[in-house]
Structure 1
Amino acid sequence: MNKINYADVVKFYRKGEVNKLISICEKSISSFPNDINNYWYLSSAYLLNNQIDMAQSIWMSVLWESDDIDKTTQELVDFIHKLARELVISNYYQEAKLFYEQLITLDEDNLLNYKCLLDLNLQINSQEEAEIIFKHLINSNYSDHAIYLEYAQFLAKQYRHEELFLILKQGVEKFPFEQNLYLAMVQFLKNNGRAKEAIAFAEQGLKLNPDNIIFQLENAKILPIIYESEEEIEFYRKRFTEHLDNIFQNLCLKNEMEKKNALTAISLSTNFYLQYQGKNDLKIQKKYGDLVEKITKANYPTTSKYTVNNDNKRRIKIGIISCHFRNHNGANWALGWIKSLDKNKFIINCYYLEVTEDYITKEFIKYSDNFYFCSSDLNTTIETINKDQLNVVIYTDIGMKPITNILASIRLVSIQCVTFGHPITSGLSTIDYYISRELMETENSKNYYTEKLILLPNNGFYLEDINLPKKITNREAFGFDHNSILYLSTQSLFKYLPQFDYIYPEIATQIPLAKFIFIEFPISKYVNHIFRKRLKKAFVKYHLNYHDYCIILPRLNEEKFMSLHMVGDIFLDTFTWSADNTCRLAVSCDLPIVTCPGEFMRSRHSYGILKMIDMEETITYSEKEYIEMAIKLGNNLQWRQNIIDKMKKNKHKLFYDLDCIQGLEKFLTNVVVNKI
């Protein structure tokens, strides 16, 4: 008779033949009564048959007769561990869970058994049971500091930030020499805008290993999400630059470990919030780009052996690369390009560096010639792009996620472009062209890009009409009264710089019924606290109470966000980083838009949109003009209505713009076929 093994148990269970397995095990015991494994297999068969009492009675009888009960118990524990793992491999998670629970019954003092059950509960998304075990392990002095990191990740997914902070703090106190705990705390505080606290923990953590480049770079990228003063902007800008210079000067990539650690360092986060300081970021972006390129070149030295098809009779092969092929501002606009480009001239492949899908993702899949999900492994993504033999790649939003910086820093295709999903230069020498928008750039704009600047006609978008909610929402649904004049300023809070806070009370002094409507930052109470603190300070200077004028709404879903703009009176654009998607929504809702374009493209979105629809009346060119325009729209109802009427008449000009598509086709043809 052949001996049974773990795979046999799973096989019998899969076939629904557990009773047959019980019979075989009983015969094996009759033939080989001294082989203890036969008893373990028999008990496992009873467990799988949900006869828990029978399984336990077999264990107890064997253990009772053992000459060395501790040794036999350990053998049983090892057996159950191995069989449970076999069940997990075979995707029998609930069955494996039953075995792990029996392990704890047999050896309740062994915390590793709890850890196995925890891992399984996390795998099957059994959150309540997982949390019970997390708390048990931490309260039982589990010796591995990683449990605090795992629990922190668990809490982060549920946005339980205060509990997360306390767990990491507890972990740091218990394991004061574990640098990874300090790093996790720094990342948490940084991502919640608590920059000063993050710096304090970073300084403590770096003392443990000052040469850790992962920690060094995360420390450099500590930036507030929202600033309390202009002086704070200058402090963090200088701090970032100095740390970046120091890292670059001392970067060592001689061995594989150094290369791997450096790659991890640039994989954790980007310098995303730096670009919201309202400054010329060309030099800083170039420095950061040089660092990324140096690290990726050391890790991927042979990836630039690209090949392309130069046969002019064939269609031009374009690769569009993004982390945001979904309902996200980073790339949802690119759907218009993909739908409208001439399929007789172009093959369009999309490479999605994420996994989140929605109805927009389905549209990208539908209209692309090929659509790849490339989130799992960078090497696989590189191979996929290389084998497709593209003529040109276009990154929609370099800098929003680390993977885009890393991939874009590698020369995969002979012609590499970036465009305005994230409206800032990439700073990378591997990116040849920045595809921008004619109405949003100035004569000096080429000086703000490391890439060669390409201007598409108008606003560069091919947009379809925005489908507004059919159900009309009234003001009462948002808690607004009918007498108030609603000034909507509904941008992400990190777009609001403190030097412009005074504008709202300036308007309020002339418009007593003004209500300024903002939207909370969704993931950090601290950021919302700082913004409220700033508003209070600004209004106090005018002897006003900001509570009488400012309403900060919670994050709204898409339908409610649209409905909000349908009940507003006036849209106030942000300075230095102008509204783009929200401005187009405001146009669709016939809202008068007050804007003040700045020096850089990212401050000229609303300006370009208003220029395209011939609505220049509310474009201003100074803070003083901006305030006066907002007051005029609030006081002069007839003039405001004239603007609304003209908006209704002209807004169609924003949509279905084929000029930009023709401009894009011309550019792609010139650089690929005509080599211009």
Structure 2
Amino acid sequence: MRMGIENGWTKLEAGDLQGAEQAFRQALASDPKDVNALHGMGRVAMAARRFDIATDLLNQAKSLAPEIERITLDFLQACAALSAMQPGNALAHYALAQGLLGAGDIEAARDALLATLLADPGHVQARWMVNRLLPRVYVNPQEIALWRRRAATGVAILEATVDPKTPEQAGHELQGLLVRTNFELAYQGQDDKPLQLSYGRLVQRVMTAWLPDLAEPPGPVPFAFREDKRIRIGFASSFFTSHTIGLLFAGWIRHLDRKRFVVHSYLTNSKPDVSTKVLAGMCDVFRDLSGDLAEAARLIRADKLDALIYPDIGMDPRSQALAALKLAPMQMTSWGHPVTSGLPSIDYFLTSDLMEPDEGDKFYSERLVRLPNISVAYHPSSLPQVKSRADFGLPADAVLYLCCQALQKYLPQFDAVFPAIAKQVQDSRFIFIRHKTRHIDNRRFQMRLEAAFKAAGLDPARHLVFIPWLDWTDFLDLNGVADVFLDSIGWSGGNTTLEALSRHLPVVTLPTGLMRGRHAHAILKRLGLDDCIAKDLEGFVATAVKLGTDGAFRSGIRGRIEAGKGALFDDTSPVRALEAFVTKAVGVG
């Protein structure tokens, strides 16, 4: 069968479209999900200028193998050709925009959304998105200011023009609201409270107009009249799966005192997986709410919760929409997405006392609740080390600096730290992980870093390593073979820092003025590793260099991590503090 597919590609390259199609069809008859054959059929359709068919076939191939860059680029080419052939077709322009957005070409996606609106001025999804799109990878700091102005304008226009008076009008606007949140905004490293307040009012306006019966907060059920006197507390997220959010916040659910609390959890917008089943087993009530949104809201309200926690408002539009309603008398969010929600319906923000700066309150619309230490009871992975450096294609004797954050956490104004370290650690490698699907972002990020090394007079090929997206076990093994973990500056690693330390990997961090830039700072403070917390960029470089060149110092830090990690992991003091706060806030005791 493989030979048949190869024959199809040979015929395609020779211009024999009929022969190529026949070969690919035979392969698909045996396996309708053969990615190579679907890709080939899509290319045949492109060559025949049947771009409508090509986009469908290539989209199927892309869905099955999103990590293959060539398929994504061919899909985008087919979408662009189709929209050019049908300039009045708003759906074609919008499909192109979505494809470009998924690949990380935000400027081109914005152009496609403008074309969508020219073809159909009433296109609600394009109207909500067009000026709120933000890149995840910026070429330079000046770009950040440009895109931020666009986003502010987009939010202001929506708040000024979207005011539904009926559920039907609100339902129409909801189609735009549910496309995306302001997720990328917080990665710019600035105070987002004004923009989030504006957008939060807008989201609540739409949701309460759509579900007017849920517009008013429910009254608490007096404990004196209850048969079960325990506090009913809920947790709602789209990411109670094998995801960072599940890893960070499962400890709250696991360790809450069941003699005092009844725990409800809600999966709001994801397919359950193995981790979901584990988390569901920790709960008294677990509901999969991935169906009808109005029904999901009413199911939560019907559970008559005393308190409801959304740990990550801003990561998923469906959870954000639910959070805009008052489904429990007291509602809270936390640092799963570490920025204020801006929603009038959210009363408290559960933060970490060690992460939050002294003046942190001013950055939130919610009232801050500072839980002790790192605020969560994190249970690290216990998987054994399996792979070696050779398995990752990494040199045995080089100093390996692991830089494993999502690419949007690396701001261009801090790129110079990498060549500054490399100049002093000549046999160094900086390991970055490519995004699985955002191929244009990957290219842009690599070009930006290569330019930084060239500007410093260094050969980027000698020092920079970009590896493909890894599964969880391989990611943990990569931590196990590295020498130093370099935290991202401006948006610090939380889950990644914790897992690095579980492998006794030394971490270098530079805390900034917002809580999202201080995760690793708090974690290292908990371990008493102030040696690894820099005060400025020069200190960051100096600490990284010392860890890379001084084996005894590095070994000593590893030993201190191993000796102190018992105080860091599975720390239930934040859970006890959460219990005490909720108990007092709902009026018990």
- Cα pair 1:331 1:396 within 8 Å, conserved: no
Q: Give the match for residue 478 of structure 2.
A: 564
AA matched with 1:360: S
Q: Give the match for residue 446 of structure 1.
A: 361
| Pair 527,138 (structure 1): closer, same or farther in 2 beyond 3 Å | closer
1:147 Cα offset (Å): 6.9
1:153 Cα offset (Å): 4.9
Which of 182, 185, 189 lines up with 1:274 in the alignment?
185
| Pair 177,257 (structure 1): closer, same or farther in 2 beyond 3 Å | farther
1:146 Cα offset (Å): 8.3
Aligned counterparts of 2:58 and 2:328: Cα–Cα separation in 1: 40
| Pair 263,386 (structure 1): closer, same or farther in 2 beyond 3 Å | same
Aligned counterparts of 2:158 and 2:202: Cα–Cα separation in 1: 9
Aligned counterparts of 1:588 and 1:237: Cα–Cα separation in 2: 37
AA matched with 1:218: M
Which of 240, 264, 269 lines up with 1:325 in the alignment?
240
Structure showing greater Rg: 1
Query: RMSD across aligned C-alpha pairs, in angstroms?
Result: 2.6
Deviation sequence 1:227-277 (CA, Å, 0-9, x none): 100011110001111122122212252466542321100111112111111
SS in 1 for 2:223: coil
Aligned counterparts of 1:344 and 1:219: Cα–Cα separation in 2: 50
Q: Could you state the TM-score of these two structures normalised by the residue count of structure 2?
A: 0.88
SS in 2 for 1:333: helix
| Pair 347,153 (structure 1): closer, same or farther in 2 beyond 3 Å | farther
1:170 Cα offset (Å): 3.0
Which of 170, 174, 190 lines up with 1:259 in the alignment?
170
Structure 2 residue 495 is matched with structure 1 residue 598? no
| Pair 221,657 (structure 1): closer, same or farther in 2 beyond 3 Å | same
Aligned counterparts of 1:247 and 1:304: Cα–Cα separation in 2: 21
Aligned counterparts of 1:673 and 1:384: Cα–Cα separation in 2: 24
Q: Give the match for residue 63 of structure 2.
A: 157
- Counterparts of 1:151-190 in structure 2 under 5 Å? 153-158=59-64, 159=66, 160-190=71-101
1:449 Cα offset (Å): 0.8
| Pair 132,233 (structure 1): closer, same or farther in 2 beyond 3 Å | closer
Structure 2 residue 489 is matched with structure 1 residue 583? no
Structure 2 residue 566 is matched with structure 1 residue 660? no
Structure 2 residue 383 is matched with structure 1 residue 477? no
Aligned counterparts of 1:496 and 1:446: Cα–Cα separation in 2: 25
Q: Give the match for residue 542 of structure 2.
A: 628
Q: Give the match for residue 92 of structure 1.
A: none
AA matched with 1:267: L
Which of 311, 328, 333 lines up with 2:223 in the alignment?
311
Aligned counterparts of 1:515 and 1:390: Cα–Cα separation in 2: 51
Aligned counterparts of 2:260 and 2:111: Cα–Cα separation in 1: 56
Q: Give the match for residue 8 of structure 2.
A: none
Structure 2 residue 436 is matched with structure 1 residue 522? yes
1:155 Cα offset (Å): 4.3
Q: Give the match for residue 465 of structure 2.
A: 551
Q: Give the match for residue 389 of structure 1.
A: 304
1:465 Cα offset (Å): 4.2
Structure 2 residue 418 is matched with structure 1 residue 507? no
- Segment of structure 1 superposing worse, 175-184 or 617-626: 175-184
Deviation sequence 1:403-430 (CA, Å, 0-9, x none): 0111101111111111121111111000
AA matched with 1:576: G
- Cα pair 1:324 1:332 within 8 Å, conserved: no
Aligned counterparts of 1:359 and 1:251: Cα–Cα separation in 2: 41
Q: Give the match for residue 452 of structure 2.
A: 538
- Cα pair 1:134 1:147 within 8 Å, conserved: yes
SS in 1 for 2:232: strand
Which of 221, 244, 251 lines up with 2:155 in the alignment?
244
| Pair 470,575 (structure 1): closer, same or farther in 2 beyond 3 Å | closer
Structure 2 residue 372 is matched with structure 1 residue 457? yes
Deviation sequence 1:27-52 (CA, Å, 0-9, x none): xxxxxxxxxxxxxxxxxxxxxxxxxx
- Cα pair 2:167 2:211 within 8 Å, conserved: no
Give the paired residue count: 551
SS in 1 for 2:213: coil
Which of 333, 340, 360 lines up with 2:255 in the alignment?
340
Q: Which runs of 5+ in 1 are unaligned?
A: 1-120
- Counterparts of 1:632-643 in structure 2 under 5 Å? 632-643=546-557
1:503 Cα offset (Å): 0.6
Deviation sequence 1:302-354 (CA, Å, 0-9, x none): 11453543215610001110101111012332221111110010000111113
- Segment of structure 1 superposing worse, 322-331 or 352-361: 352-361
Q: Give the match for residue 289 of structure 2.
A: 374
Which of 216, 220, 234 lines up with 2:145 in the alignment?
234
SS in 2 for 1:331: helix
Q: Give the match for residue 492 of structure 1.
A: 406
| Pair 551,135 (structure 1): closer, same or farther in 2 beyond 3 Å | closer
Aligned counterparts of 2:482 and 2:52: Cα–Cα separation in 1: 50
